[in-house]
Amino acid sequence: MAEEKAIFCLEHCKGQKIFSFRIPSSCTHCGTGLNDCILRIPPFRLPSPFRDAQKCPCSIVLKPTKGDFLTDYKNSDNLHIGVTNSSGVVYEYDMNGLSFHKTSNWKRCLAIKDFNKDKDFGSWSSYWDFTLDVVSGHQEQWARTRYDEDRHNCYSFVLAFLKALQVPELSSFARDRRMFCEKYILPKTASAAKYITLYRKLMSEPHLVLTNKN
């Protein structure tokens, strides 16, 4: 997996934001040197939506089933979903059955943490790990022979875990895959899609100028 480049943004001319992997020496809109001029928006790094699963404890994590978000992903592609424990170990269910490990396959994923942001992490992480161990302990349910791409897959495991948590704000969404995706998955992927589009444009253009209306 190629290292992700940092995207920088700045604004010199009003309404003309410059995006680049490298801060330019002059304004790409008007040509003014940027070393000693006043900038409307000083250079800053755009926050990447992608995370290393090992650094996202007690989270639901997403990645493309095949390939990588930045280089391969298209809106029509399937997503693979898993759960991390309090140590960043990824629990995932696929055609090979249930597995749990730390792996580079989840170095650039999307992490959903909305539902634990207001909880005491110590007690919450203990409860999270306990529930994850209970659900994953049903080895027969998550055997490779039971895997079905449409009816018994990675989402089945994650939703079973979330239902077992018995958290009121999650219970209704965890009982329906479509509702869960609309509530938690689509907002994440929609935000990531904008970043991916910008990143890929910069791979072919050294600098990109976008007006505020864009």
Instruction: Give pLDDT, residue 132.
Output: 96
Q: Domain segments of the chain: what residues?
A: 8-47+197-211, 50-175
What pLDDT sits at residue 114? 59
pLDDT of residue 118: 57
Backbone phi, psi, residue 95, to 5°: -60, -15
Vertex 203, ends 201 and 206: CA angle to 5°? 90
pTM, two decimal places: 0.87
How much is the pLDDT for 81? 96
Mean pLDDT by groups of 10 residues along the chain of 214 residues: 90 90 86 84 94 93 92 87 95 95 90 68 87 94 95 95 86 85 91 94 86 62
